Structure 1
């Protein structure tokens, strides 16, 4: 304990009509390796109309380190979070959502990281379920991360550990007054600029972030474009107030262009959008690109996203639809070239490529440049120039524990081969070949109990796609030798059985 009677951590949770969905979070808090007397959980019931209030009151009655506040419905998580800060007693505050949950050692590890590095903010590794979470940020531990030296801007949700004195010193509070989309962006961006030290803990998955299948959590409703983009502009204002025009500002602005605008104007996400809503979204995106972004913002994107930004800036919604229909078929295809195993170690060699349908993603040589081939004309060649991205194309091999969603980047050696002659003169596509050795005695710090899938992840010209490999590694205990299920053999047996039955 930092002081007698002062908890190390206060976990603040807004709760609204979550019903039984709260149980997984509650159970994870009761399983924490940090002793119960060293942390507290503050649930703020935002005027629930189901049995949430009763569930929380029963929980608090049984566990002294859990408290419940009941308030009239505010309609959004901001007011409950702010009240949670006011009532928190911990040295640090962590903001959790009512349908997420913690790994067993999360609070202990996050607090230890904060103390060891004297950090104002600790960003713990997240696993996503129906929700995107940062990938590159969690490739390694970063104990002195800044917006300049790391992809910190990729993590703008509030699910982090903050020093409570830091929040109070700078008056960091969530914006209230109705439903404010991206309410955590304005708080987190300010906090990053103000923080004396921010640490990223990547060697342990701390927080499991969930999109409920019933989509009834309060922020799941479709956004209203004009108010949504007002919140985007608020976040951009904070960046502009703390940076000068130039590469850093452009890189930070690029995060909102990429995630909040272009990601909604491509692929299946665009195709599933209502027509009138899409028109509004495209118009608001066009305004922000024209009003707020320097040329270097879109210029620093990979070619595919540059093309989407190019079309959006010019209001070419019909072409955005054409591109989305083609992109909806993009997938990574991966095969196993070689598999070797000895004791606890498995070595696998794979080949992988990006395809749209059955056709590999193609490029053409044009005056010394490699140009991405898209299914439409009238996009300036410089927009599709992929020379730098082709040379930087990356293949990662990732192990994912099926039970928990933990993802581990494996040490991999890879090379990228240009394959020509398949799509006409001057055309080529890329095949990536990589080898990795998985030591199940040391993987994930020896925490290997469970079933592990293997994925080939290709990153190139604006896509990051996973191709599932037909291998499953089953570890009955932590650090044990894995049992390998080669699903190629399973499928061959199934196919043979089907063939025999057909012949009969």
Structure 2
């Protein structure tokens, strides 16, 4: 069988971090005879060489090459490429890992779309990864129609024939940004680049000791000389004009301006800060025309222009203000409808706890940064005018898997509002009012959410800031009233929105990862249970959302005699947004005992019994008395939108209304 994919892994002293990488390669869904892994040991001095030799001896598709240390990743990647037999080559770092189906999915996607380069969705474990690029699948991407330039790490799949055709190889030796040079040329020469966004293919990991090469402080002169090589590639393969400016803007923004902002700048030692600034200033003046900075958002443009003007003191002043700018959000409403979780929220940026302000002048919206007069006056293109393109600002709702860091954008509808500031003529706040609808059966870019805990974030993009914040700690009464579990889908699955402890943020539990669901039933009383005889039937009113009908069951346990009975029933929606479980009740079998109730909810992983604070006393003659038991779980924490027991009282009121209607 021809090899479809060769995975090349440069290795240097990874210690135990390589185990996750190895395990992910062994778990790949591709058959073992359709892929190979080539570990290139670059002079490791720990126990890794012996570990890799044992691996290669045990698995025929795992290979290891030992070489003297070269000092960086370029040479071992080139050695791995030379040894590769696959149709495609995937690069992986020794402290990262792949999704279990990554190679199969990326290969099939690349072949189906005739791609020379396949970019798989990335998740960052403690380190940043591109976001906008993976908002959707992009089967036919290039540097003009997609933000490919935002992803320049080497962790991609490349057609080997394509690499050989253009003799694409990594620059070798101890150097920085060799991956930028390689990937940029690949993007610009490829006939097609395919971006796969509906499955997390690559997990980019920051070590706990932060010893990844990319986290080490660099020497500015050498670093920016290496960066010039990436710019040289762009100049060789593009014509002067808007496209080249846009590509150059990536390095101006990420490698220069972002290093001069907020705490990232202020926490640097003063002497290193000056050295870094001097090299950035030199490169900006040397290589970037006015069209490069002109396309930056407001705050990045301010910093870029101050850099070009050589005004480090003003850059530092602006950084001190920016370091306090944070997004804020209020959870206004939360409710299930038609199997989707509707989340209503309000968001804006604040600095030092106060809203970031704007003003209107000359028909323009302007940001009001606290620069001294010397700062803006020193920047000719900027002057005192800091235009804020608020019409381009946006807010997103993102859900993130707590275990894997995989994140997915959710549909959002929003409006922008300008709220006047009392006592300040012409000044206003810029506020978003938004609604997102999370469908847990398609929330992962069309796929259902995996079992786990998913944290909810809002992400505000405005004026050059793109920042996240959790949602839920500040919330309105409607959010507290609407929070409840839901059973949706076929086969049915359990989803539970909850407030985190102690901060009270909104998260979503999928498929009973904890015993948290028991808290939902702590307020049940005997009034929630209806028992009829001849024939025996039992109905339990439950405080959660159900889409249609599904199967569920009750487990009845007679603790005194160590016996249990399973009652299979039907879970269906009530008009009030609650649910009820109906089961047959075999009274003869249950007679003469007290039965504790446990609820078994639908779950693709097999539902876990959830203790209810209820028991059935079944007399010998078949009579039944429902008893309320002391709850075995603690009550949910007090919500900022209500008082303990408020949800129970609302449910009781709903049942009373239904009874009166009958």
**Alignment deviations for residues 388-407 of structure 1 (CA, whole Å, 9 cap, x no partner):** 62111101111111111111
Are the equivalent residues in 1 in contact too, given 2:298–2:388 (CA < 8 A)? no
Are the equivalent residues in 1 in contact too, given 2:336–2:486 (CA < 8 A)? no
Q: Which secondary structure does the structure 2 equivalent of 1:59 belong to? A: helix
Correspondence for 1:267 = 262
Aligned counterpart in structure 2 of residue 458 of structure 1, from 439, 457, 460: 460
Are the equivalent residues in 1 in contact too, given 2:388–2:463 (CA < 8 A)? no
**Alignment deviations for residues 50-76 of structure 1 (CA, whole Å, 9 cap, x no partner):** 111112112222211100111111110
**Alignment deviations for residues 432-471 of structure 1 (CA, whole Å, 9 cap, x no partner):** 1110111112222124211111111100000001110138
Correspondence for 2:332 = 337
Q: Which secondary structure does the structure 1 equivalent of 2:472 belong to? A: strand
Correspondence for 2:638 = 492
Correspondence for 2:566 = none
Q: Which secondary structure does the structure 2 equivalent of 1:124 belong to? A: strand
Aligned counterpart in structure 2 of residue 278 of structure 1, from 273, 281, 297: 273
Are the equivalent residues in 1 in contact too, given 2:401–2:453 (CA < 8 A)? yes
Q: Which secondary structure does the structure 2 equivalent of 1:270 belong to? A: helix
Q: Which secondary structure does the structure 2 equivalent of 1:118 belong to? A: coil
Correspondence for 1:481 = 494
Aligned counterpart in structure 1 of residue 450 of structure 2, from 432, 448, 451: 448
Moved more, 466-475 or 441-450: 466-475
Higher helix share: 1
Are the equivalent residues in 2 in contact too, given 1:353–1:458 (CA < 8 A)? yes
Aligned counterpart in structure 2 of residue 64 of structure 1, from 60, 63, 72: 60
Are the equivalent residues in 1 in contact too, given 2:38–2:62 (CA < 8 A)? yes
Q: CA deviation at 1:359?
A: 1.1
Q: 1:141 to 1:494 in 2, by over 3 A?
A: closer
Question: How many residues end up aligned between the 2 structures?
Answer: 492
Correspondence for 1:500 = none
- Distance between the aligned counterparts of 1:496 and 1:90, measured in 2? 61
- Distance between the aligned counterparts of 1:169 and 1:474, measured in 2? 56
Moved more, 124-133 or 99-108: 124-133
- Distance between the aligned counterparts of 2:381 and 2:391, measured in 1? 17
**Greater Rg over alpha carbons, structure:** 2
**Alignment deviations for residues 278-302 of structure 1 (CA, whole Å, 9 cap, x no partner):** 1111111111111111101111100
- Distance between the aligned counterparts of 2:386 and 2:432, measured in 1? 16
**Alignment deviations for residues 159-188 of structure 1 (CA, whole Å, 9 cap, x no partner):** 100001111111110001x31100011111
TM-score, length-normalised on structure 2? 0.71
Are the equivalent residues in 2 in contact too, given 1:345–1:439 (CA < 8 A)? yes
Correspondence for 2:153 = 157
Q: CA deviation at 1:241?
A: 1.2
Output aligned runs, 1:373-388, within 5 Å: 373-377=368-372, 378-379=375-376, 383=382, 387=387
Correspondence for 2:127 = 131
Correspondence for 2:570 = none
Correspondence for 1:357 = 352
Q: 1:39 to 1:479 in 2, by over 3 A?
A: farther
Correspondence for 1:288 = 283
TM-score, length-normalised on structure 1? 0.93
- Distance between the aligned counterparts of 1:184 and 1:374, measured in 2? 36
Are the equivalent residues in 2 in contact too, given 1:402–1:453 (CA < 8 A)? yes
Is residue 317 from structure 1 mapped to residue 312 from structure 2 by the alignment? Answer: yes
Are the equivalent residues in 2 in contact too, given 1:450–1:474 (CA < 8 A)? no
Cα RMSD (Å) of the superposition? Answer: 2.2
Considering Cα pairs closer than 8 Å and 6+ residues apart, tell me whether 1 or 2 has the greater RCO.
Answer: 1
Are the equivalent residues in 2 in contact too, given 1:338–1:348 (CA < 8 A)? yes
Aligned counterpart in structure 2 of residue 10 of structure 1, from 6, 19, 28: 6
**Alignment deviations for residues 263-315 of structure 1 (CA, whole Å, 9 cap, x no partner):** 11111110111221111111111111111111011111001011101111122
- Distance between the aligned counterparts of 2:247 and 2:396, measured in 1? 25
Are the equivalent residues in 2 in contact too, given 1:440–1:481 (CA < 8 A)? no
- Distance between the aligned counterparts of 1:119 and 1:475, measured in 2? 41
- Distance between the aligned counterparts of 1:441 and 1:169, measured in 2? 43
Aligned counterpart in structure 1 of residue 48 of structure 2, from 38, 49, 52: 52
- Distance between the aligned counterparts of 2:58 and 2:39, measured in 1? 14
- Distance between the aligned counterparts of 1:475 and 1:79, measured in 2? 53
- Distance between the aligned counterparts of 1:316 and 1:125, measured in 2? 39
- Distance between the aligned counterparts of 2:224 and 2:313, measured in 1? 22
Is residue 214 from structure 1 mapped to residue 209 from structure 2 by the alignment? Answer: yes
- Distance between the aligned counterparts of 1:351 and 1:200, measured in 2? 32
Is residue 73 from structure 1 mapped to residue 69 from structure 2 by the alignment? Answer: yes
Moved more, 294-303 or 478-487: 478-487
Are the equivalent residues in 2 in contact too, given 1:452–1:473 (CA < 8 A)? no
Are the equivalent residues in 2 in contact too, given 1:14–1:98 (CA < 8 A)? yes
Q: 1:491 to 1:239 in 2, by over 3 A?
A: farther
- Distance between the aligned counterparts of 2:354 and 2:271, measured in 1? 33
- Distance between the aligned counterparts of 1:19 and 1:135, measured in 2? 30
Are the equivalent residues in 1 in contact too, given 2:348–2:432 (CA < 8 A)? yes
- Distance between the aligned counterparts of 1:18 and 1:274, measured in 2? 29
Q: Which secondary structure does the structure 2 equivalent of 1:353 belong to? A: strand
Correspondence for 2:556 = none
Are the equivalent residues in 1 in contact too, given 2:421–2:429 (CA < 8 A)? no
Are the equivalent residues in 2 in contact too, given 1:369–1:385 (CA < 8 A)? no
Q: 1:286 to 1:243 in 2, by over 3 A?
A: same
Output aligned runs, 1:35-114, within 5 Å: 35-114=31-110
Q: Which secondary structure does the structure 1 equivalent of 2:346 belong to? A: strand
- Distance between the aligned counterparts of 2:263 and 2:411, measured in 1? 32
- Distance between the aligned counterparts of 1:143 and 1:385, measured in 2? 41
**Alignment deviations for residues 80-130 of structure 1 (CA, whole Å, 9 cap, x no partner):** 000000001110000100111111111111001111011100011101122
